[in-house]
Structures are given as structure tokens and as C-alpha cells.
């Protein structure tokens, strides 16, 4: 019996993976930093984690997962030559909804007296979720740009479409870890 | 169409895994009778499982060359070990000072 080897291809541009890899490394350091400070601040971490808006965190997780689904379907539609910009706009909308919910969450925290200087947990919470929020806004902007270009009939190479989709999915997967660290454990 | 159906199935699995992890952390008392460190281990495992699904299915790493797949799996394994290792240390399950002795 002969085994058939499945052909492999790298999604997006090879050099873009260097950028994605750099981002993954930076966030790995952030995750490690957050957990490292937990060692000397166990009681404080458990007390502060109970004060996070867990319901809003859960909703935002679903918003980003849904955004990723829209973008993945959008890329597939684009490959088939079908209308894809609607799916990319839907993905970008999920990013905007995520940002609005995050702002609401920050406002609720600040209103109840919890700020970036409250304790080490919330310093890291505001810093890391803030860095991630910047990624979400960049990703949404890129999706809107890509979607509007496709809507106007502009031609985009597969590399551009796939690179932007990859960045969006990266933003999604980084949130899955942040959500676990700040809201669930 | 087949790929789109697959993507929706993946999204459903990710959603169910999210709810499952949520229930472990905030669910009914029967679940909460499990020691907290075991719950956290399960929650972190589920998070890494979800990240791997996003990488392999949404980012299409499943069909990527082996070095990329290995690099991403190595990153995820490192994240899993660091998070749980430092968590166990914080609750006293692992004594870091013992490594110096």
C-alpha cells in the first residue's frame, strides 16, 4: 500500500510569520510575568480576580470567536471568487463590539474605584488587556480596509488577504489565554 | 461549502469548550467539589486546546509545513507548562527553593 503525502503550504507570507512569532513571544513573556507575580501575591490575585467582570469577559470571548469564524469564511469565499467583503466587515464589527464591551468594562472598574494603580493584579490587567485591545483595533482597521477594497472591486493578492486574516486569528487566540488567566483561574 | 461547514463545526466546538471551562470555574457545587488546582489544570488545558484549534483550523496551520507546526506546538506547550508550573508554585504544590538544594 502506498501512502499519499498531503501537499503542504504556508498560509500567508513566510516573513509575516516572523512578525506573528515575535508577537507570540512577547505575549508569552506577558503571560509568564503575570503568573510569576502570582507566586508572592496569591491572596491578592484571588481577591482581585473575583472583582473582574467575568460575564463581560465571557461575552467578549464569544464575540472574538465569532469574528474569527466570519474572517475564516470570508477568506474561503474570496478564494471561491464569491462576495467576501460582508464577512470581513462582520469580522471587523466583532472587533468593534469587543472594543466597546472592553471600554464598558474599564469604565465599570474605574467607577468602582479599581484603577491601574490599585494593585499588581490590576496593573497587569489594564496593561495586558490594553495592549491586546490595540491589537484588536489594528485588526479591525485592517479588515475594514481589506473589505472596503474588495467591495470596490480592488484586486488583492492572496498574501495580503491571508496575512490580515492570520493577524486577526492571532488576536483571537491571544485573548483565549488572557481570558483564562485574568477571569477563570 | 464543505470547508465552511467544517469552520462552523470548529466554532461550535470552541464555543462549547469555552462554556465548559466557564462552568468548571463558576459552575454548580458538584463540579466545585473537585480541588481547585485540578479545576485550574482543566481550564488551562481547555484554553490550550482552543488555541490549537484556532491555529490549525482558522489559521490553516494544519496544512502548513512541519517546521511551522512544530514551532507553534512548541510555543503552546511552553505556555501550558509555564502557566501551570507557576500556578502550582503559587499554591505551594511545587517548591522552587527545592531546586536550589
Residue with cell 507570540: A24
The string of pLDDT tens digits covering residues A30-54 is: 999 999 999 999 999 999 999 999 9
CA–CA separation, A103 and B69 (whole Å): 35
The string of pLDDT tens digits covering residues A118-147 is: 999 999 999 999 999 999 999 999 999 999
Which residues does chain A have within 8 Å of residue B66's beta carbon, measured at their own beta carbons?
8
Asked if A181 and B64 come within 8 Å (Cβ–Cβ), the reply is no
CA distance A112 to chain B (A): 23
- Ordered DSSP codes for chain B: -HHHHHHHHHHHHHHHHHHHHHHHHH--HHHHTS-HHHHHHHHHHHHHHHHHHIIIIIS-GGGS-HHHHHHHHHHHHHHHHHHHHHHHHHTTSS-GGGGT-
Is the CB of A173 inside 8 Å of chain B's CB atoms?
yes
Which residues does chain A have within 8 Å of residue B75's beta carbon, measured at their own beta carbons?
24-25, 28
| A60 band by pLDDT with thresholds 50, 70 and 90 | very high
**CB of A93 closer than 8 Å to CB of A69:** no
Which residues does chain B have within 8 Å of residue A18's beta carbon, measured at their own beta carbons?
none
Q: How many CB atoms lie within 10 A of CB B13?
A: 14
pLDDT in the model for residue A83: 86
pTM greater than 0.95: no
Calculated CA dihedral for residues A40, A35, A131, B48, nearest 10 degrees: -170
CA–CA separation, A31 and A16 (whole Å): 23
Q: How many CA atoms within 13 Å lie on the side-chain side of A2?
A: 3
Is the CB of A39 inside 8 Å of chain B's CB atoms?
yes
Which residues does chain A have within 8 Å of residue B57's beta carbon, measured at their own beta carbons?
72
Asked if A61 and B18 come within 8 Å (Cβ–Cβ), the reply is yes
Asked if A172 and B18 come within 8 Å (Cβ–Cβ), the reply is no
CA–CA separation, A127 and A134 (whole Å): 11
pLDDT value at B1 more than 80: no
| A5 band by pLDDT with thresholds 50, 70 and 90 | low
> What Rg value do the Cα atoms of chain B yield, rounded?
17
CA–CA separation, A164 and A170 (whole Å): 10
Asked if A169 and B82 come within 8 Å (Cβ–Cβ), the reply is no
CA distance A4 to chain B (A): 14
pLDDT value at B26 more than 80: no
ipTM of predicted assembly, 2 dp: 0.93
Is the CB of A68 inside 8 Å of chain B's CB atoms?
yes
Is the CB of A78 inside 8 Å of chain B's CB atoms?
no
Amino acid at each position: 500500500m502506498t501512502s499519499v503525502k498531503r501537499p503542504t503550504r504556508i498560509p500567508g507570507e513566510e516573513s509575516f510569520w516572523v512578525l506573528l512569532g515575535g508577537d507570540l513571544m512577547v505575549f508569552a513573556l506577558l503571560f509568564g510575568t503575570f503568573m510569576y507575580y502570582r507566586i508572592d501575591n496569591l491572596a491578592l490575585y484571588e481577591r482581585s480576580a473575583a472583582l473582574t467582570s467575568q460575564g463581560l469577559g465571557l461575552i467578549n470571548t464569544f464575540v472574538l470567536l465569532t469574528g474569527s469564524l466570519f474572517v475564516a469564511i470570508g477568506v474561503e469565499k474570496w478564494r471561491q471568487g464569491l462576495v467576501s467583503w460582508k464577512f470581513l466587515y462582520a469580522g471587523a464589527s466583532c472587533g468593534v463590539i469587543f472594543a466597546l464591551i472592553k471600554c464598558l468594562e474599564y469604565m465599570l472598574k474605574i467607577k468602582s474605584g479599581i484603577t491601574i494603580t490599585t494593585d499588581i493584579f490590576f496593573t497587569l490587567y489594564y496593561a495586558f488587556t490594553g495592549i491586546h485591545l490595540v491589537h484588536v483595533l489594528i485588526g479591525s482597521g485592517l479588515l475594514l480596509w481589506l473589505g472596503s477594497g474588495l467591495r470596490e472591486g480592488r484586486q488583492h493578492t492572496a498574501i495580503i488577504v491571508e496575512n490580515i486574516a492570520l493577524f486577526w486569528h492571532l488576536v483571537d487566540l491571544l485573548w483565549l489565554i488572557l481570558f483564562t488567566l485574568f477571569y477563570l483561574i | 461549502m464543505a470547508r465552511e461547514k467544517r469552520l462552523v463545526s470548529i466554532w461550535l466546538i470552541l464555543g462549547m469548550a469555552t462554556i465548559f471551562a466557564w462552568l468548571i470555574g463558576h459552575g454548580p457545587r458538584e463540579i466545585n467539589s473537585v480541588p481547585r488546582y485540578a479545576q485550574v489544570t482543566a481550564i488551562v488545558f481547555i484554553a490550550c486546546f482552543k488555541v490549537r484549534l484556532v491555529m490549525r483550523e482558522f489559521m490553516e496551520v494544519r496544512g502548513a509545513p512541519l517546521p511551522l507546526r512544530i514551532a507553534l506546538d512548541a510555543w503552546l506547550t511552553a505556555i501550558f507548562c509555564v502557566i501551570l508550573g507557576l500556578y502550582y508554585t503559587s499554591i505551594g504544590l511545587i517548591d522552587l527553593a527545592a531546586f536550589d538544594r
